[in-house]
Structure 1
Amino acid sequence: MIDHITIEVSDLEKSKRFYELAFVPLRYSLSFGKEGVFWAFDVGSGCLFEIQRTGERPPLTHLHVAFRVKSKAEVDAFYQAALEAGAKDNGGPGPRPDYAANYYACFVLDPDGSNIEAMINEPPASSF
């Protein structure tokens, strides 16, 4: 399942206003962001559509897609398979506490340089 997609825009505030209006009939709404950097829209089922301003720092690229997986093992397996398929490393599997307490992800660059992520953001299973 796709967790979030991030696209680069040339005018962040203009694009924010555009998507706020265009998403009204779909009942998608602004969820969070950082003034002058990016905005995230809730598009349902826990998925986000994000816009970022041109020229942001890595690991962001012109296009970023994050796939939500079911386990850390799947993140690890995706990373290895992607590298074997020819991807370039853009951040190996591991915790991303800056994103969220339980966020675990990896990042690779596909043949066109798009940043592709596999991630899980769920608390560890209870031992009960």
Structure 2
Amino acid sequence: MIDHVTFAVSNIARSKQFYEQAFAPLGYKIAFGDEGRFWAFDIGDGLFEIMQAETSAPLPHIHVAFRLGSKAHVRDFHAAALAAGARDNGAPGPRPQYTPNYFACFVLDPDGNNIEAMINQADAA
């Protein structure tokens, strides 16, 4: 089990605002942080952390998938992320190419990271 994931962002204030807004419908909130340096979001069984990059060089793009409890949560995350300024990278819907019950959406955060919200459950509403 992974306890936390941390990745660098180009503008910590912008990314903090983005993730606070995108995570709001999921109930994920800031657990702790250090203004201008990093923020840790409590995502239930672990932490999702962002930190200010220490270089102006281009950052590597990362893919992170959040396993959610319902298709409604996937849809809510997608809508909130787009409202927060994300670029759509795949609307909520079935992804049978992964598994028969896979339902997901994809957005690109302010740094171009591919953020996925998904559920892989036959009886998910």
Quote the Cα distance in structure 2 between the aligned partners of 1:80 and 1:122. Answer: 21
CA distance in 2, matches of 1:97, 1:122: 12
Aligned AA (1:67): F
Please state how far the C-alpha of 1:62 moved relative to its aligned partner: 2.6
* Match status 1:72 vs 2:77: no
Q: Which amino acid aligns with 1:87?
A: A
The higher radius of gyration belongs to 1
Structure 2 equivalent of residue 36 of structure 1? none
- Structure 1: state its 5+ residue gaps: 6-60
TM-score (norm 1): 0.50
Kindly, what percent of the aligned residue pairs are identical? 69
The one-letter code of the counterpart of 1:83 is: L
Runs of 4+ in 1 over 6 A off after TM superposition: none
Which residue number corresponds to residue 113 of structure 1?
Answer: 112
- 1:52-71 counterparts in 2 under 5 A? 62-71=61-70
Residue 75 of structure 1 and its aligned partner are, at CA, apart by: 0.2
The Cα shift of 1:124 comes to: 1.1
The CA RMSD over aligned residues, in Å, is 2.2
Offset from partner CA, 1:79-119 (integer Å, 9 cap, x none): 00000000000000000000000000000000000000000
Question: 2:100 is aligned with what amino acid?
Answer: A
Q: Which amino acid aligns with 2:91?
A: G
CA distance in 2 between counterparts of 1:80 and 1:119 reads 14
Give the match's secondary structure for 2:118: strand
**Once the 2 structures are TM-superposed, how far is the Cα of residue 69 of structure 1 from its aligned partner?**
0.2
SS at match of 2:76: helix
- Structure 2, unaligned runs of 5 or more: 6-59
Q: Which amino acid aligns with 2:96?
A: P
Shift of 1:123: 1.2
Partner residue, 2:93? 94
User: Which amino acid is 2:73 matched to?
Assistant: E
Residues 28-64 of structure 1: per-residue CA shift (max 9 Å, x gap): xxxxxxxxxxxxxxxxxxxxxxxxxxxxxxxxx8310
What CA distance in whole angstroms lies between the structure 1 residues aligned with 2:70 and 2:61?
A: 27
